[in-house]
Amino acid sequence: MNRHQEKTLQNNIKGVSSLALAGIQWFFFLFTNTVVVPLSIGHNFHLSPDAIAASMQHAFLLTGVVCILQAIFGHRYAVMDGPSGLWWGLTLSLTVSASSAGMSLERIGGGLAAGFLLAGLTMMILGGLGAAHVLQKLFTPMVKSAMLFLMTIQLTMNFFKGMIGYTEFGSFNLPVAALSVAIAFLVALIQLKGRGKLGNYSILIGIVTGWIAYSLVFPGQHAGLSSHAGGSSISLFPWGKPAWEPGIVITAFFVGLVNMTNSITTLSSVEKIYGVRTSDQQYKRSYMLTGLFTMLSACAGVLPFGLFASSIGFLESTRILRRAAFVVGAGMLCILGLTPPVTAFFAQIPPSVGSAVLFVAYLQMFGTALRTLEGTTFNSKTIYRVALPVLTGVAVMNIPAEAFQSLPMYLIPIISNGLVIGVMVSLLLETTVNWSKMEHTAAASKAA
């Protein structure tokens, strides 16, 4: 073997190892964003450990498959498509308020299943008809920025609570919180000071190091499923068979439309990272795939799907833009979903560790929201375009869930969701107020 061949071989090996590491990091990102959802939803529906394990496997498998299809045939970016945070908030709020509203969990589950099927079908139809054009006109850069700000705040609040071991009783675990803060600082330090490609693997390093540290500091403690939970059986509609519950179905339909707009926000933000423009066909294929897997999720007891705006933070933190690495990570998630013992093992990653790592990764979304406002000037009047929807949404987020229990069931998921309220306020302001006139008036008064 001559020197040229040796050098080529070394470069190939280096490229494969780099791809493998990047794929593993994507795997952990996909995993940590997926694993908590079936656990929390399963507990709220009082499902058995085996049923929760089954829904977890279904979530891993469906998420892995749809991510691969999106990267190759859909939007063609390295962007996660998985159980949506909007649907997560809707489902949790409905199950929490079930007892006060006098509705059984089975009725709520059946209504949600019907709503998920309707939302998925709607997304496929509207997406195929090119509804992205209409949504793009409605969702101006100002609405997108408000949505990104609120999503960043909502997600980081949830992850911060997970970091400190916050419980429903209003207390937190100080030793767990101290370790989580240390892990978060480690990840941030690697991102800020890491030389070469070291900073690109901060999430992977944080999860592995944090898991080991947690096992050493808190031996014998773990969260998630027990190692003997199998969950390999397939059960259709484990939450309840589809049923016509008007309030729940209509609410789910509305949230489905908002979830469609999340795709617009995410893809338009990712365009800037990749330096390309998303075509109409890419939007159509993306909506078709997300809609199809939303319908499949309704059958398998998994939350409906949506593009993760948090992928923007991951891409900006790691600079791993290759679709091949994303496909490798999604493929590993598929394998995980097909192997119950491995699923049970990874499900024991402490939630506080995953929350600490993702807390740092999601901070990049705040920068994305700020960049969406580049070129826009504000005065004492036009600042309302951002301040009113964002601060209104944050205010709603901080109102206890119990305060909304006196409202009709069909209103609770909308009014109690700060993200939805903030986006609705932003849409109302952008469609009813002539902001350009206010900008010119302010500029003229300054000139005078």
Helix (H), strand (E), coil (C) string for 166-215: CCCCCCCCHHHHHHHHHHHHHHHHHHHHCCCCHHHHHHHHHHHHHHHHHH
Rounded distance, CA 290 to CA 267, Å?
Answer: 13
Q: Compute the average pLDDT of residues 296-312.
A: 85
User: Does position 347 have pLDDT exceeding 80, yes or no?
Assistant: no
317, amino acid identity: S
**Residue 63 — pLDDT band, cuts 50, 70, 90?**
very high
Contact 206, 186 (CB under 8 A): yes
- Residue 333 is predicted with a pLDDT of 93
**Residue 227 — pLDDT band, cuts 50, 70, 90?**
low
Q: Which residues contact 85 (CB under 8 A, 6 or more apart)?
A: 151, 154, 155, 306, 308
Among 111-120, 162-171, 221-230, 421-430, the minimum mean pLDDT is found in 221-230
Structure-model confidence comparison of residues 303 and 166, the more confident one: 303
Q: Compute the average pLDDT of residues 325-333.
A: 93
Q: Which of 85-99, 204-218, 289-303 has the highest mean pLDDT?
A: 289-303
**Residue 322 — pLDDT band, cuts 50, 70, 90?**
confident
User: Does position 346 have pLDDT exceeding 80, yes or no?
Assistant: no
User: Does position 160 have pLDDT exceeding 90, yes or no?
Assistant: no
Q: Compute the average pLDDT of residues 73-95.
A: 81
- Residue 62 is predicted with a pLDDT of 94
Q: Which of 96-110, 195-209, 352-366 has the highest mean pLDDT?
A: 352-366
User: Does position 96 have pLDDT exceeding 70, yes or no?
Assistant: no
User: Does position 385 have pLDDT exceeding 70, yes or no?
Assistant: yes
- Rg, Å, the chain Cα set: 22
Rounded distance, CA 38 to CA 48, Å?
Answer: 12
- Residue 409 is predicted with a pLDDT of 67
Q: Compute the average pLDDT of residues 97-120.
A: 78
Structure-model confidence comparison of residues 48 and 331, the more confident one: 331
Determine the 3-state secondary structure of 302 from DSSP.
coil
Q: Model pTM?
A: 0.74
Q: How many CA within 13 A on the CB side of residue 315?
A: 24
**Residue 254 — pLDDT band, cuts 50, 70, 90?**
confident
- Residue 331 is predicted with a pLDDT of 94
- What's phi and psi for 82, nearest 5 deg? -155, -170
Q: Compute the average pLDDT of residues 214-225.
A: 72
Which residue in the block uniquely carries the two structure tokens 């740092």?
360
**DSSP class of residue 303?**
P
Determine the 3-state secondary structure of 305 from DSSP.
strand
Q: What is the mean pLDDT of the chain?
A: 79
- Residue 67 is predicted with a pLDDT of 95
Q: Compute the average pLDDT of residues 166-189.
A: 84
- Residue 81 is predicted with a pLDDT of 92
- Residue 9 is predicted with a pLDDT of 47
- Residue 22 is predicted with a pLDDT of 85
